[in-house]
Amino acid sequence: MMEQRYQTLKEFYPYYLTEHLHPTCRALHYAGTTLLLAVVGAAVYFGNAKLLLLLPVVGYAFAWIGHFVFEKNRPATFKYPLFSLASDFIMSYHFYTGQIDKKIEEAKQIILK
């Protein structure tokens, strides 16, 4: 069977959500994304570009712990770095706006049919 290759973010996002079904994995993503935005804000506020060196740590450490420890899968960022980055922000937006459970159920219907 050939592996699915995603060509657009719209196609990829449902897959991304099904790779984040464990609530602790998602919570770690939200924490990492929120900290990433805080680091960018702090770098701008304090005029300290060196703070941006923390971005890979906060951006990936939380997510990878979530995947390897809780989700028990390989982060999609290894195959789809840009789609994964964008999807992480979209997933966080859906969480903070109360839409995440609905979006996950929709994704399951598309991907896990």
Q: Which residues contact 61 (CB under 8 A, 6 or more apart)?
A: 32
Q: What is the mean pLDDT of residues 68-73?
A: 96
Instruction: Tell me how many domains the chain contains.
Output: 1
Taking alpha carbons only, the member of 5, 10, 13 closest to residue 92 is 13
The band of 3, judged by pLDDT with boundaries at 50, 70 and 90, is low
Q: In the numeric block, which tokens belong to residue 46?
A: 């304090």
The string of pLDDT tens digits covering residues 5-54 is 999 999 999 999 999 999 999 999 999 999 999 999 999 999 999 999 99
The string of pLDDT tens digits covering residues 95-111 is 999 999 999 999 999 99
Does 4 reside within a domain? no
Show the domain range for 81. Answer: 9-111
Does 82 reside within a domain? yes
How many angstroms separate the Cα of 44 from the Cα of each of 41, 96, 103? 5, 23, 33
Does 1 reside within a domain? no
Burial 5-27 (b: 16+ CB within 10 A, else e): ebeeeeebbbbbbebbebeebbe
Does 64 reside within a domain? yes
Predicted pLDDT of residue 2: 52
70 or 3, greater pLDDT: 70
